[in-house]
Structure 1
Amino acid sequence: MDTVDAGTRAVMLRDRGNRCQWCALRGPPRGDAALHVHHIEREPSDVAEDDPVNLAVTCRACHNWFHHRPTRLDAPVELTEADMRVLLPHDVLLLKVLDEVGPAPFRDVFVRVKVLLSETAVRERLWVLMGVDRLVAGRDEQLVDQDAKTGAWGFPEDVAESARGYVPGDRALALQRAEDELVRRALDRGCDRELVASVFGVTRRNTFHKQYRASAYAFPLDEFDRGGRPAGSDDEVSEGEDGVPVWNDGAVPDGDLGRVETWGGEPDEMYGDVSELLNGDGSE
């Protein structure tokens, strides 16, 4: 319930366009969401409690979330304070959802949190949970995993075939994973994020998606030679269905990897001067 006076409430709703600042649901007259005025802090030290800078417009569901959002102690798995420097309360909620319904396809996870998070945000936070062991120093285990065959999300012990380190058979997806890994390595080397975005032809925001996705899937880029398949001897390749060669680990048919420079042969042709990012100091 609102605890601000009617005049302050009216000003806040007008200035925020009569919509929730988090999920964008509209209140009257263009929508039917019940809107509340939420205090960001109670008894702030630098402004009055009802000062507009300490207020936000939320829908009923988001307002309830802010007052009852889970902490790391509510998670179905053990989380440390170091984990929570990377994770968000939304991640704890996703862990609780997976504990209830996982392993489950993405859609089944998303529908349970869509009031609070967009589809893109849910995907990103699942990648963070999957790659948290590569994002948090001292953590040696993933929190969640994705099944490489079914795409279902769940806890690692419940996933039949991990997507971590898996090479997709779809060429476009494999190329995406390779590029993600290049972006991650460049950022880990301390390269400027704007420079990385420019070299790879993506937005700055998209570099975060790529970084988190690369941490999640750990694409084995170093396992590929200039010829476009995992390094190793020819006896690792055998004949599959319809005479198509396959690697004996069942990963990807030879010839489905596309341009060999993607795997480290001649990346400059595809991405510009990537060598500057991978071998240099990343300074402009």
Structure 2
Amino acid sequence: MLARRGNRCQWCGARGPPRGWAILHVHHIERNPDDVEEDDPKNLAVTCRGCHNWFHHRPMITDAPVPLTHADMQVLLPNDVLLLNVLDEIGPAPFRDVFVRMKVLLSEPAVRERLWVLMGLDRMVAGRDEQLVDQDAKSGAWGFPGDVETSARGYVPDDRALAFQRAEDELVRRALDRGCSREHVASVFDVSRRNTFHKQYRAAAYAFPLDEFSRGGRPVERDEEMSATVREEEDIPDGDLEPVETWGGEPDETNSDVSDLLNGD
């Protein structure tokens, strides 16, 4: 098997001797498989020691504190199961409290992204009707929907910069859903390709009610209360917003570009 796989891990690509220093193992994909012998090459894979250890200790779908389906796991990562367990243990909790328990495994931006994915999972996975995770719009705490007092989903923040960010996220999500290339979307909104993933996940999570806005960009109805805690949770300084997250250019020019995307041009 080592010779067949070129003496390298099939997952992370680490090379073993003679061209590298990784310690390689032969991993059984399944124990007692139904269709082949356990030691059949079809049931074997080459892994480095680190990946092999992860496969045997990674969280499984049954370890989650809430019901998950195999369709969910096509979107979720094993670390998401750990994140759900953290929320089950301490939630609803501020982001910082959640991050402290995950920082050994994930960076701060990665934890934020996975929370958005968990919150918007019902909008990403066909057949999932219930929201898995929610954020409180006023306290910023993350937890399960039944434990959150005021859902951030569909909530229109009074903070203008944050509202623009939510609206732009939703426009990015709609453009991608219509089949626009990620590169095109990144170019129109003047963000990196990686940032389009963040905006897409965040849009799925918060379900910003874009259709309630007029062309002028203000909501038909809005809640006058917007907790400063939410701004802190989003890491948005007072009176400022990260340059990549704001709308750029003159309104007519920007709206024209966005219209092209939404119309599929």
TM range (shorter): 0.7 to 0.9
1:92 equivalent in alignment to 2:81: yes
| Counterpart for residue 35 of structure 2 | none
The letter of the residue matching 1:156 is: P
1:197 equivalent in alignment to 2:186: yes
The letter of the residue matching 2:112 is: R
**Which one scores higher on RCO, CA 8 angstroms, separation ≥ 6?**
2
1:28-39 equivalences under 5 Å are 37=23, 39=25
Distance 2:108 2:120 in 1: 19
1:261-276 equivalences under 5 Å are 267-270=251-254, 273-276=257-260
Distance 1:116 1:221 in 2: 35
| Counterpart for residue 184 of structure 1 | 173
Distance 2:149 2:101 in 1: 24
Among 55, 59, 69, the alignment partner of 2:58 is 69
Contact 1:186 1:277 in 2 (8 A): yes
| % identical aligned pairs | 72
Distance 2:166 2:137 in 1: 13
Please state how far the C-alpha of 1:63 moved relative to its aligned partner: 6.9
The letter of the residue matching 1:210 is: K
- 1:231-278 Cα offsets, whole Å, 9 max, x none, are 37xxxxxxxxxxxxxx4x4367xxx9xxxxx99xx8542376111111
TM (normalized to structure 1)?
Answer: 0.68
Distance 1:15 1:177 in 2: 49
The letter of the residue matching 2:140 is: G
Change in Cα spacing, 1:149 to 1:129, as seen in structure 2 (3 Å) is same
| Counterpart for residue 163 of structure 1 | 152
Change in Cα spacing, 1:66 to 1:117, as seen in structure 2 (3 Å) is farther
Contact 1:199 1:271 in 2 (8 A): no
Among 130, 134, 139, the alignment partner of 1:141 is 130
Contact 1:181 1:214 in 2 (8 A): yes
Please state how far the C-alpha of 1:56 moved relative to its aligned partner: 3.7
- 1:131-165 Cα offsets, whole Å, 9 max, x none, are 00100111111110011111111000001111101
Contact 2:158 2:224 in 1 (8 A): no
Distance 1:276 1:111 in 2: 42
Contact 2:154 2:208 in 1 (8 A): yes
1:250 equivalent in alignment to 2:234: no
Distance 1:40 1:132 in 2: 35
| Counterpart for residue 153 of structure 1 | 142
Change in Cα spacing, 1:102 to 1:45, as seen in structure 2 (3 Å) is same
Please state how far the C-alpha of 1:223 moved relative to its aligned partner: 0.4
Please state how far the C-alpha of 1:189 moved relative to its aligned partner: 0.5
Which of these two proteins has the greater Rg computed from alpha carbons?
1
Distance 1:108 1:15 in 2: 43
Change in Cα spacing, 1:230 to 1:115, as seen in structure 2 (3 Å) is same
1:277 equivalent in alignment to 2:261: yes
Change in Cα spacing, 1:202 to 1:41, as seen in structure 2 (3 Å) is farther
Long gaps (5+) in structure 2? 1-7, 9-14, 29-38, 227-238, 240-245
Alpha-carbon RMSD? 3.4
Distance 1:56 1:194 in 2: 34
Contact 1:223 1:230 in 2 (8 A): yes
Distance 1:157 1:204 in 2: 35
TM (normalized to structure 2)?
Answer: 0.73
Change in Cα spacing, 1:227 to 1:112, as seen in structure 2 (3 Å) is same
1:223 equivalent in alignment to 2:197: no
The letter of the residue matching 1:115 is: V
The letter of the residue matching 1:165 is: G
| Counterpart for residue 239 of structure 1 | none
Change in Cα spacing, 1:158 to 1:37, as seen in structure 2 (3 Å) is farther
